[in-house]
Structure 1
C-alpha cells in the first residue's frame, strides 16, 4: 500500500533540511488502506494546513491484487504547525470515483445510488468519475466534506465479489465534528512534531489512534489527552519544539 508508506514518509521527510523526491510503485487503492484519493484530498488537505509542503502526482492506479500503481512525490522542507479541527459547518460534499476494466454503466449506477442517498440527507453533492488504465480491474470511491473547521472523508474500494462499495455513509452524514476516525490516527505523527497544541474532535477513538498516540509519545516525547464530548471525543496533542532531521 503506497498510502500507508506515505503516512510515515511525508511527515518525516518534511522536517529534513533538503527537498525529498520519491517515486513509488505498488498498490494505490487496496484493502485495509486509505485510497490514493483519500491520501491526496483528505490527508493532503490536513498536511497543507499543518504547513507540510508536498506535491503528490498519481501517475498510474494500482488496484488489488496486481497493484503496479505509480506515484511521484516532492516533499519540501517545512515547519510543521498545529491544527484545530472542531466542528463541521458545511453541507457540501465531493464524490470522486475511479475505475478500470469494469463496466462503466455499473460503476455509474453504484455512484448515482450513493449520490442520491447523500442528496436525501440534504447534502450538496459535486460528483466526478474517471476511467483509468490500471493493470487490474478495480474501482475506488471517496466522499469528502471539507470546510475551515473540519476535514472529513470516507472511502472504499469496490468489492467485486458482491459488486458493491463497502461504505458506511453514516460516517459522513452523521459526523458533525472536526475529522473522521481514520484521519485522526494519521494526524498524530505530524502533530507530535509541532511546537504547539493540536486539537481535533472525532466520533470514535480507534485502536489505531490509541496506539499511535502512545508510540508517538515514546519517540517524540509529545503529550496527549482525550476527553469525552457530546457526540464523540476531543483529542489534544502537544508537540515537541524544533524537531528536525
Structure 2
C-alpha cells in the first residue's frame, strides 16, 4: 500500500488531490494521514471530501475515513471505466479543481468519458472556468491529453449552482519541452451574471486602460447561472490570471487585480505561468520521456506537488536554478 503524509510541503489539500489521482492511475491502494495538517483547521472539508468521493465513484473504489474533519483515509481504487459521470458538490466548491483531479484518471479509462460537475465555476482559490479551458487544457494537450470542456452554467460563492462538463478520451501521455512563446494577442473575458450591466462596462474600461500598450480583445459573457457573480480572466498562450468580484470590491479593482497579475507573468517571460507550472507537473510525471519548462516562481503548491509526485511515481523531478523544472 502506498502511504503519503498529508503534512508534506505546505500540508494542504493539494497533497490529497495529487495522491488520490495517482493512486487511481497506478491502480494501487493508498493511505493518506495527517490530512491538511498545515492548515488552521486540519482534516477534510467538504471540498476535499468531494474529491475523495468523485474518484471513488469513477473507479468503483473502496474508501474509508471519508468524513468531515477526518485526518486519515485509505482508498483502494478499482478499474477506471469509461462512460458518463455526474457529480454534485453540494456547495460552491470548485468544479475546476475536481476536473483537474479527475482528468489524469479519466485519461487512463477503458473508453471515452464525460464528467458533469455541479458547484462553483468561478470561486476563490481555484482556476476560473475560462483559465481551465483556455490556458490549462491547451497546455495539457501538449503532453498528449485529449480533453475538452463546456461551461453549462456559471456558479459563484456562496450559492454555487454552476455546471461544467469535461469530455475525455483515453490518451497516451508523452514528455514535452515547453519553450517561451512569442508575445501574442491578449484575450480578456468579463463574466457577468445577475448583476447590473455597468459593472462589465467599468471593468472593460479599466482593462483598456491597463492593457493600452498591448494588442488585446475583451469579450463580455452572460451565461446562464445558478447564482449572481462576476469574474475577469485574462490570458495569452500559457500565461493567465483572474480576479473575482465580491461585495465591497469595485469593478475597477477586479480588473486591476487581473491585469496586474497577468502583466506580472508576462514580464517574467517564462514558458508557463506560476500556477500552470504546478498544474502540468502530474502530466509530466506520468508521461513517457523527459519534460522541461520554466516559470516565473516556484510556488508552495509546486514544491508540494513535486515532492508527492516524486515519491509516488519514482520520477526524478528537479526544481533547478533559473526557475526551470525538469522531469527525468
CA distance 1:100–1:139, change in 2 (3 Å): same
1:148-171: CA deviation from partner (whole Å, max 9, x where unpaired): xxx111112113322231333432
Q: Partner of 2:122: helix, strand, or coil?
A: coil
Aligned to 2:246: 159
1:127 correspondence with 2:214: no
Higher alpha-carbon Rg: 2
Query: 2:234 matched to 1:143?
Result: yes
Q: Of the candidates 137, 150, 153, which is equivalent to residue 44 of structure 1?
A: 137
Deviation at 1:203, TM superposition (A): 0.8
Provide the residue aligned with 1:178 in structure 2: 271
Identify the residue that residue 103 of structure 2 maps to in structure 1.
Answer: 10
Please identify runs of 4+ aligned residues in structure 1 that moved more than 4 A. Answer: none
Matched residue SS, 1:71: strand
Per-residue Cα deviation, 1:115-173 (whole angstroms, up to 9, x for no partner): 321123xx100211111232221111111111xxxx11111211332223133343234
- Asked if the contact 1:154/1:171 (under 8 Å) is kept, the reply is no
Partner in structure 2 of residue 236 of structure 1: 326
**Distance (whole Å) between structure 2 residues aligned to residue 133 and residue 20 of structure 1:** 24
Q: Secondary structure at the match of 1:159?
A: coil
Q: Which has the higher contact order (CA 8 A, sep 6+)?
A: 1
Unaligned runs of 5+ residues in structure 2 are: 1-93
More strand by share: 1
Scaled by the length of structure 1, the TM-score of the pair is: 0.88
User: Alignment partner of 1:236: what SS?
Assistant: strand
In structure 1, runs of 5+ residues without a counterpart are: 239-245
Matches within 5 A, 1:1-245: 1-120=94-213, 123-146=214-237, 151-163=238-250, 164-165=253-254, 166-167=257-258, 168-169=260-261, 170-229=263-322, 233-238=323-328
RMSD across aligned C-alpha pairs, in angstroms?
1.4
Q: SS state of the match for residue 177, structure 1?
A: coil
- Equivalent pairs counted in the alignment come to 229
Q: Secondary structure at the match of 2:243?
A: strand
Contact kept? 2:137, 2:148, Cα under 8 Å = no
- Higher helix residue share: 2
Secondary structure of the structure 1 residue equivalent to 2:141: helix
